[in-house]
Amino acid sequence: MEATAAAPPQRGPKQGRSLHRFANPGRFLRLSGAVLPWLAAAGAALTTVGLVWGLFIAPADWQQGDAVRIMYVHVPAAWLASAGYFALALCSVLSLVWRHPLADLAAAEIGPVGAGFTALCLLTGSIWGKPMWGAWWVWDARLTSVLVLFFLYLGHVALVRAFDDPQRGYRSGAILALIGVVNLPIIKFSVDWWNTLHQPATISFTGAPTMSLGMLWPLLFAALGYTLVFAATVLARTRAAVMERRIRALLMARASEVAA
Amino acid sequence: MTRKRRRLWLLLACGLGLGSATALALLAFRDNLVFFLAPSELASKAPAPGRMFRLGGLVEQGSVRKSTDEGHPAAKFRVTDGAAGVEVTYVGILPDLFREGQGVVTLGTLQADGTFRASEVLAKHDETYMPKEVAEALKKTGHWNPASGPPPPAATWNTMQVKKTGG
Nearest to A134 among B30, B95, B155 (CB): B95
Whether residue A251 lies inside any domain: the answer is yes
Mutate to test the interface with A, among B35, B54, B121, B138 (most CBs of A within 10 A): B35
Domain of residue A36 covers 23-197+218-259
pLDDT of residue A22: 66
Q: If you ran DSSP here, which 8-state letter would residue A112 be given?
A: H
Chain B residues in contact with A141 by the CB 8 A cut-off are 33, 35
Whether residue A46 lies inside any domain: the answer is yes
pLDDT of residue A9: 46
Instruction: State how beta strands B85-91 and B116-124 pair.
Output: parallel
Query: What CATH number is given for B36-124 in this structure?
Result: 2.40.50.140
Nearest to A208 among B38, B95, B155 (CB): B155
Verify whether the Cβ–Cβ distance B132 to A134 is below 8 Å: no
pLDDT digits (tens, 9 = 90+) for B104-121: 999 999 888 888 999 999
The count of structural domains within chain A is 1
% residues pLDDT > 90 (chain B): 27
Verify whether the Cβ–Cβ distance A62 to B122 is below 8 Å: no
pLDDT of residue A138: 92
pLDDT of residue A46: 97
Cα separation, B130 vs B144, in Å, equals 13
pLDDT digits (tens, 9 = 90+) for B131-149: 888 888 888 888 788 877 7
pLDDT digits (tens, 9 = 90+) for A34-85: 999 999 999 999 999 999 999 999 999 988 889 999 999 999 999 999 999 9
pLDDT of residue B151: 79
Mean pLDDT by 10 residues, chain A (260 residues): 44 52 82 95 97 93 90 96 97 92 93 97 95 91 95 96 92 95 94 88 82 90 97 96 91 90
Single pTM value for the model: 0.87
Cα separation, A90 vs B55, in Å, equals 41
Cα separation, B8 vs B21, in Å, equals 20
Q: How far is B161 from chain A (nearest CA, A)?
A: 8
Q: If you ran DSSP here, which 8-state letter would residue A106 be given?
A: H
Chain B residues in contact with A61 by the CB 8 A cut-off are 129-132
All structural domains of chain B with their residue ranges: 2-32, 36-124
> HSE of A98 in the Cβ direction (CA atoms, 13 Å)?
17
Whether residue A115 lies inside any domain: the answer is yes
Which residue in chain A is spatially nearest to B99 when comparing CA positions?
A: A63
Average pLDDT, chain B: 84
Nearest to B135 among A62, A179, A186 (CB): A62
Higher pLDDT pick, B29 / B109: B109
Give A5's contacts (C-beta < 8 A, 6+ positions apart): A26, A29, A30, A33
Chain A residues in contact with B8 by the CB 8 A cut-off are 97
Chain A residues in contact with B75 by the CB 8 A cut-off are none
C-alpha distances (whole Å) from B4 to each of A91, A94, A176, B16, B35 are: 15, 10, 20, 18, 44
Cα separation, A131 vs A134, in Å, equals 6
Cα separation, A241 vs A233, in Å, equals 12
Residues found in chain A: 260
Nearest to B123 among A93, A134, A210 (CB): A134
pLDDT of residue B135: 84
Q: Between A and B, how many CB-CB pairs are < 8 A?
A: 125
Which residue in chain A is spatially nearest to B151 when comparing CA positions?
A: A210
Chain A residues in contact with B123 by the CB 8 A cut-off are 132-134
C-alpha distances (whole Å) from A227 to each of A82, A102, A124, B119 are: 11, 20, 18, 42
Alpha carbon B165 to chain centroid distance? 33
Average pLDDT in the B25-53 region?
83
3-state secondary structure chain B: CHHHHHHHHHHHHHHHHHHHHHHHHHHHCHHHHCCCECHHHHHHHCCCCCCCEEEEEEECCCCCEEEEECCEEEEEEEEECCCCEEEEEEECCCCCCCCCCCEEEEEEEECCCCCEEEEEEEEECCCCECEHHHHHHHHHCCCCCCCCCCCCCHHHHHHHHHHHHHC
Whether residue A167 lies inside any domain: the answer is yes
Average pLDDT, chain A: 89
pLDDT of residue B163: 46
Alpha carbon B97 to chain centroid distance? 13
B12-18 contacts: CB < 8 A, separation 24 or more?
Answer: B14/A178, B15/A178, B15/A181, B18/A179, B18/A182
Closest CA to A46 of A217, A212, A250, A252: A217
Alpha carbon A21 to chain centroid distance? 23
